[in-house]
Amino acid sequence: MGRSVSTPSNAYVVYGHLEVDQFRCDNCGDTFNEHANGLAKFGDPEWDADLPADLQDEVKRCPHCGEHEDGTTDQSEWAYQDAFDWLLEDFQQEVLRVFPSAYGDDTWLDREDHALASNRFAYFGISEYMGVVALWMAPKDNDYGLYDGLRDSWMRKAWPKFKAMANSCVPDPMVLLGVMSNGEAVYQRVNP
């Protein structure tokens, strides 16, 4: 649960969860969220030469190769931003590929809703809050409502294509089950 991520009015939305591993092992290159526990080995700072190997202090290690925690890097500060930047690029490229009438855009529809592409009828964009991302297709307002019927018909027909494309962009697709009165949203993973 968490506060609902912002989306424009009347938008067609695909939700997802963006998560990255917190640590990276400098030895094997693998990433992980939690260190494994193991006994100190010869060469570790905690190694006590006066104790037998099975009585050494417990230390944190890479769960993949056993590298001491000193040989791992906390990447939490920059890895999430990199993953989000790659999602922005991938989403925009996919929208431009799937919808030939779309062109690159850089419009903010609100404080949290960033349109990365658009065409005559719709904005295609992304919103994010605490790791929950919303990829959306929002209707464009037009002068005097002259093309509302055409726009709405195009969006209904484009929704299945958009949904398939957006689900392929987010690493962990989710469905919004509902929003409580305090603004917290409840999501369910599509592929648990």
Residue % of the chain over a pLDDT of 70 = 96
The structural domains of the chain, with segments of one domain joined by +, span 2-20+76-189, 23-74
Cα dist from 71 to 58, 157, 189, whole Å: 16, 52, 34
Angle ∠(147,133,191) on CA atoms, nearest 5: 105
Q: What integer pLDDT is reported at residue 92 of this predicted model?
A: 96
pLDDT tens digit sequence for 37-94: 888 888 888 888 888 888 888 888 888 888 888 888 888 777 888 888 999 999 999 9
Residues 155 and 93: their CA atoms lie apart, in Å, by 19
